[in-house]
Amino acid sequence: MNRKMLIAGNWKMHKTPDETEEFITAFVARYQERPGTDVLIIPPFTSLDRAGRLLVGTEITLGAQDLYYEEEGAYTGEIAPHMLRACGCTYALVGHSERRALFNEDDAVVNRKLRATINAGLTALLCVGETLTEHRAGKVEKRIIAELTRDLAGVTHDDMAHVVIAYEPIWAIGTGETATPEEAQATIKLIRGWVATAYNDQTAAAVQILYGGSVKPGNAAALLGQPDIDGALVGGASLDPESFIQIADASLDR
């Protein structure tokens, strides 16, 4: 199974619509697309419409950082999945650790959001990962499997074609600390093994699993060279077109 690489840039709470336009103009002018690698940018909500218009005619895909699971109604401040599609999104992040920790999203909410994402025809980019305490206590497997089991409850084989998983160890996010390529590979292999048990071998062989947490131009090639790592979910280093291009260029043509 030759899985494509996916290089995703989660901009978090950075960039206005004008700054988004500046980034996309510079990126599109310089980036050489390759058939084995997809690029995804995930700007804040307020930049999505502008980004969607600018990306028409390119192969670069667009995603949202979050969504709400209802279709419409009295939910002040929330954004429905179909609204994201109308802006040109094909992906949505679900269960990022910052949403879980800072905005009290538990697995039940993550599960509802994930199913709403798939039902709306978007691909869900589900984030899982352990804290530093869990990491030090050797509880990585326990934490990851608990998240996967709860977050993917009720998600069918067919639905799994619209799920990408990102392993983001919380202690590696924004800290400059990365899991070693071997550590990241081992945990991602464990995730793929869980998918094989929960679904089947075919689904496990097909699902894209990314690594995220302080991915930079200097460490991208070693991480992306691991057999089970199918791409990167990049925060800080995705804000600059040059460094994001360097990371995308480090992806393999499998």
Residues that bind ligand 13P (CB under 6 A): 10, 96, 168, 173-174, 212-215, 233-237
CB of 33 to ligand 13P, least distance (A): 22
Q: Could you please report the per-residue DSSP string of the chain?
A: --PPEEEEEE--S---HHHHHHHHHHHHHH----TTEEEEEE--HHHHHHHHHHHTTSS-EEEES---SSSSSS-TT---HHHHHHTT--EEEES-HHHHHHS---HHHHHHHHHHHHHTTPEEEEEE---HHHHHTT-HHHHHHHHHHHHTTT--TTGGGGEEEEE--GGGSSSS----HHHHHHHHHHHHHHHHHHS-HHHHHH--EEEESS--HHHHHHHHTSTT--EEEESGGGSSHHHHHHHHHTS---
Closer by beta carbon to ligand 13P, 52 or else 213:
213
* 14: annotated active-site residue: no
Residue 162 is a catalytic residue: no
> Whole-number minimum distance, CB 148 to ligand 13P, in Å?
17
Residue 204 or 235: the one with the smaller Cβ distance to ligand 13P is 235
Residue 228 CB, nearest distance to ligand 13P (Å)? 19
Catalytic: which of 130, 135, 168, 242?
168
Q: Which is nearer to ligand 13P, 90 or 119 (CB)?
A: 90
| Catalytic member of 96, 98, 105, 134 | 96
Q: Which is nearer to ligand 13P, 126 or 204 (CB)?
A: 126
Cβ 66 to ligand 13P, closest distance in Å? 12
Q: Which residues are catalytic?
A: 96, 168
